[in-house]
């Protein structure tokens, strides 16, 4: 038993002894690349992480953006169907007069508003980058 441990220990020492500068460099490069990868994907994909649904000005539901689902929400104009799919959200079905919300289509970051039904869908409210390029409000 003790002998085997000693043998293993010797083998490890041998490996460490044989590690060249090139090996260390490769190891370092891989480490840097993988850590950088985390930041690069975060920057390249400034997507929100969840969907918050407000009804009548009160937050009602929060769902993750990466799980596909359909949520029925009732309002003065019947049921409104909110769909989350492939990291985006939309109002699939509504029975309000103008259906502006349905026409808005898929949103990966922003707000979908249905005024007649008093429903707000915040897409990506949990996300947001800290680069200072973020916009505080939109006019128009």
Q: Please give the residue ranges that form the binding site for other proteins (CB under 8 A).
A: 54, 56-57, 97-98, 104-111, 113, 115, 118, 120, 132-140
Nearest distance, CB of residue 15 and other proteins, angstroms? 49
Per-position b or e across 54-91, b if 16+ CB within 10 A of its CB: bbeeeeeeeeebeeeeebebebebeebebebeebbbbb
Measured CA to CA, the distance from residue 79 to residue 138 in angstroms comes to 29
Closer of 37 and 126 to other proteins (Cβ) = 126
Closer of 81 and 104 to other proteins (Cβ) = 104
Q: Which of 108, 125, 119, 124 is nearest to 71 (CA)?
A: 119
Bridge-based pairing state of the strands 119-123 and 110-114: antiparallel
Nearest distance, CB of residue 89 and other proteins, angstroms? 10
Closer of 21 and 137 to other proteins (Cβ) = 137
Cβ-proximal residues to 83 (8 Å cutoff; 6+ apart), any chain? 69, 70, 71, 89, 90, 91, 92
DSSP class of residue 93 equals E
Nearest distance, CB of residue 53 and other proteins, angstroms? 12
User: How crowded is residue 19: how many other Cβ atoms within 10 Å of its Cβ?
Assistant: 10
Nearest distance, CB of residue 107 and other proteins, angstroms? 5
Closer of 41 and 57 to other proteins (Cβ) = 57
Nearest distance, CB of residue 43 and other proteins, angstroms? 16
Closer of 37 and 105 to other proteins (Cβ) = 105
């Amino acid at each position: 038993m003790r002998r085997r441990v000693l043998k293993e220990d010797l083998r490890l020492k041998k490996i460490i002894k044989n590690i060249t500068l090139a090996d260390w460099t490769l190891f370092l490069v891989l480490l840097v690349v993988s850590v950088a990868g985390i930041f690069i994907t975060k920057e390249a994909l400034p997507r929100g992480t969840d969907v918050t649904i407000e009804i009548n000005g009160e937050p009602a539901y929060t769902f993750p953006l990466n799980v596909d689902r359909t949520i029925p929400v009732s309002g003065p104009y019947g049921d409104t169907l909110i769909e989350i799919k492939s990291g985006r959200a939309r109002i699939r079905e509504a029975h309000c007069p103008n259906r502006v919300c349905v026409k808005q289509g898929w949103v990966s970051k922003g707000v979908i508003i249905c005024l007649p039904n008093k429903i707000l869908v915040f897409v990506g409210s949990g996300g947001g980058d800290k680069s200072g390029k973020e916009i505080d409000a939109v006019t128009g």
